[in-house]
Amino acid sequence: MGNLRDFVADTLEINGAVIEPLEPDGLEVLAPEPVRKAMGWPELTRLGFGVERPVGAIPAGLEGDWLDRFGTLLGDRGRWTERQVAATGLPGNPERLLERALDLPNAVWRFQGVNATWTRCLLLSFRYTALSDEKREGLVWLGFNLGSGAALDDMLLRLRSQMELEPDWAAPEPAVRAAAGPSWSAAALETRVKPLLEHRIRTELEPFLHAMRRRLERDRNRVHAYHDDLRGDALKRLSVLSGAKGEKADADRKRETLRAAAIELEYHAKLDDLRRNYALGVTVEWVQALDLYMPVQRFDVAIRRRKGERSIQLDWHSLVRLAEPPLCDWGLGLSRTRLVCDEKLHLTEPEGQAPCASCGKTWCRACHPASCPHCRRASSSETRHERH
């Protein structure tokens, strides 16, 4: 619980409270008016974080509304921060490194050079809440190298855990800031963030959705079986009555026909209830942004396809000793495989050069984002990964 106690102590101090550590695992807080109001405390409060608490301490933990109340105290502080990271790792043999970093089934590459520089990586975290008959919450992290344009999906975890090992925060030096280059425009960032965020949350929620669909299926089968039995009984009684004559038989027939219709209505109403109960709502909220200034080894690579040639850059990150995936002109670019197009040598995910679903000819989705150039079929009807 040491981390939580430190966080609470820091947050309260920032807000003007006077803090004294109390053993075991507690804090004594002399709170100014705004803190008293936000937390609902008297002027002098004792907090306990462990199983054993100081005498007279309120138990504080991650449960209940504690985090919400501390969130109110924090406001927008800590939402965005920047940090320069020191690292001295050097890559090994460049050719061998590129062999692992690049997978270009329809093109060849040539190593042209490498130089040490700085880049700027943006790490963003989002909280999602999915609500249907049950609730699921979670946090996803996205990362982009703003210098090279690469998505940092795979190396994010390592990047974040490496940084936690480095307790010293350094603000970026002016020279580093200049070397790393500018940020992206809001529009450019949104273009990249939106599809990747959607993809990540969809992946995170897949087990939850799967379980939900199973419950829905089970309930639907149960509702169906129950009403099917009832309806079967009513139809059976009707068929027994079919040969009968007279007023009573007519009245019975009418009653059973009405009963069967009522069962049908009730069945559909129950299905509607299920649909409402299992309707899924997902909300996503941005939590934090971290601007990292990081040392990289920037590789210059020539990509050749037929008679065309194009130069790209690919960063090797000293902190995690990993090469990022190559840039991607179409698709999320999370894996390392890229196909290269004939027209403009775009690097795309393999689906970006896939045969048209309608005419069967291949075409580059980066060259022609809207529709197939051969048959004009709209591409939105066949792909989900396309960037807007």
What does the binding site for Zn ion look like in residue numbers (CB under 5 A)?
341, 343-344, 346, 356, 358-359, 364, 366-367, 372, 374-375, 377
Minimum distance, C-beta of residue 382 to Zn ion, in the bound complex (Å): 9
Burial 322-357 (b: 16+ CB within 10 A, else e): bbbbbbbbbbbbbebbbbbbbeebbbbbeebbeebe
Pick between residue 200 and residue 338 the one whose CB is nearest to Zn ion: 338
Using DSSP's 3-state secondary structure scheme, residue 147 falls into coil
User: Which tokens hold the place of 194?
Assistant: 């939106």
Minimum distance, C-beta of residue 344 to Zn ion, in the bound complex (Å): 5
Pick between residue 57 and residue 341 the one whose CB is nearest to Zn ion: 341
Pick between residue 60 and residue 340 the one whose CB is nearest to Zn ion: 340
Minimum distance, C-beta of residue 370 to Zn ion, in the bound complex (Å): 12
Residue with tokens 């939850």: 208
Minimum distance, C-beta of residue 368 to Zn ion, in the bound complex (Å): 8
Pick between residue 87 and residue 367 the one whose CB is nearest to Zn ion: 367
Q: Burial of 38 by CB count in 10 Å (0-12 exposed, 13-18 middle, 19+ buried)? A: middle
Nearest to 294 by CA among 182, 176, 193, 184: 176
Phi, psi of 368 (to 5 degrees): -130, 80
Minimum distance, C-beta of residue 374 to Zn ion, in the bound complex (Å): 4
User: Which tokens hold the place of 335?
Assistant: 């894996």
Pick between residue 152 and residue 372 the one whose CB is nearest to Zn ion: 372
In one-letter notation, the amino acid at residue 105 is P
Pick between residue 325 and residue 352 the one whose CB is nearest to Zn ion: 352
What CA–CA distance (Å, rounded) separates 362 from 182?
A: 36
Nearest to 53 by CA among 123, 1, 105, 130: 1
Minimum distance, C-beta of residue 177 to Zn ion, in the bound complex (Å): 34
Pick between residue 199 and residue 374 the one whose CB is nearest to Zn ion: 374
User: Which tokens hold the place of 93?
Assistant: 């043999």
Residue 18 vs residues 2, 14, 37, 56, 303: alpha-carbon distances, Å: 18, 10, 16, 18, 61
Minimum distance, C-beta of residue 306 to Zn ion, in the bound complex (Å): 13
Handedness of CA 89, 94, 97, 101 (dihedral sign): positive
Minimum distance, C-beta of residue 346 to Zn ion, in the bound complex (Å): 3
Number of helices followed by number of strands (H, E) in the chain? 8, 12
